[in-house]
Amino acid sequence: MEIIFLEKNNTGIITLNRPKALNALNIDMAKIFSEKLQEWNENVNIKRVLLIGEGKHFCAGGDVKSLYLTKNENNFKEEFFRIEYKLNYLISQFKKEYLSIWNGVVMGGGVGLSIYGDHRMATDNTKFAMPETSIGFFPDVGASYFLSNLPKNVGKFIGLTGQILEVNDLIYLGLATDYFKIENLELLKNNYINSGELIRENFEVNNDTELIKNIELINLMFEGNLNEIISNLENNKSQFSSKILDIIYKKCPMSLYVSTKLINDAKGKSLKECLEIEYQLSQKLVYRTDFDNGVNSVLVTKDHNPQWSPAKIDQINTEELNKYFETHTKKLYL
């Protein structure tokens, strides 16, 4: 079983069980996850939910490799994102307590399974990222909602660079709600399952991380649209801005443009509105050659040398960009 459900002491326990794939969420897992969550929402015997990943990691994201490998199948890409985004919204509306244990890798679709719950416990080995601009896509699963609500343009920084965040950054930004020591994992789980109580451990944020040290600079550099961001970084001449520029120049140019506009436009919008916009966008971007090239290069051949089209940021046609944001397929109707 790729996803396991267990009921114990009024707790619904969900285990993502694809450890060799870092528990990446495929379409069948998303379907039964949705069905079980709806059932538990109405079940008076279930008072809370615990979401964990089997093995050393929580969830590396949605199974985009399957989208690439089944690219000629009818409606698969439409169905995949429809089911995944509806599940994200369902989690946000879930009436009972919902705890995710962010052990190891938490990326992309794995963030979408957890960030809308009540508690997200991070530990010293947590690695959080939204890395979609590396595969010709954009930060989705409602990322435009939660990234646009982060302070000081940090959301755009995370979305464009795919920067890996660890526990200090996650607690500082409120992306993780609590900290736990990895050696207390079983104690944490058992306590929550048996009594519904969380073991909250004291955590003093270390302000010496790259992100926190440079947060004011990030705020200045990532203001505006993509052209302004690139100009800001080029003119800044600091070691940090040079490093970030090098990272950004390796990402998919169209993904960078789309992601910047998406996060800028999301300010003030609800999660429901953001998911609807992302769904329309997803059904354009998954059919671009950049998506196939990106997924193949990063996840299939792993040569990490995708050929983007257009190849450079200054070759992007902004009229084409705006068309991606038009409603062109049926809505999610959340």
* Residues classed as catalytic: 62, 109, 132, 140
Q: Where are the alpha helices (DSSP H) in 286-317?
A: 289-295
* DSSP states along 228-270: HHHHHHHHH--HHHHHHHHHHHTS-HHHHHHHHHHHHHHTT--
Which tokens go with 205? 């944020």
Query: Alpha-carbon distance 198 to 93, whole Å?
Result: 21
Among residues 325, 270, 296, which one has the least CA distance to residue 116? 270
Cis link prior to 253 (omega < 30° from 0)? Answer: no
φ and ψ of 15, to 5 deg: -115, 120
Rounded to whole angstroms, how far apart are CA atoms 56 and 104?
Answer: 6
DSSP 68-118: HHTTTSTTHHHHHHHHHHHHHHHHHH--SEEEEEE-SEEETHHHHTTTTSS
Using an 8 Å Cβ cutoff, are 133 and 252 in contact?
yes
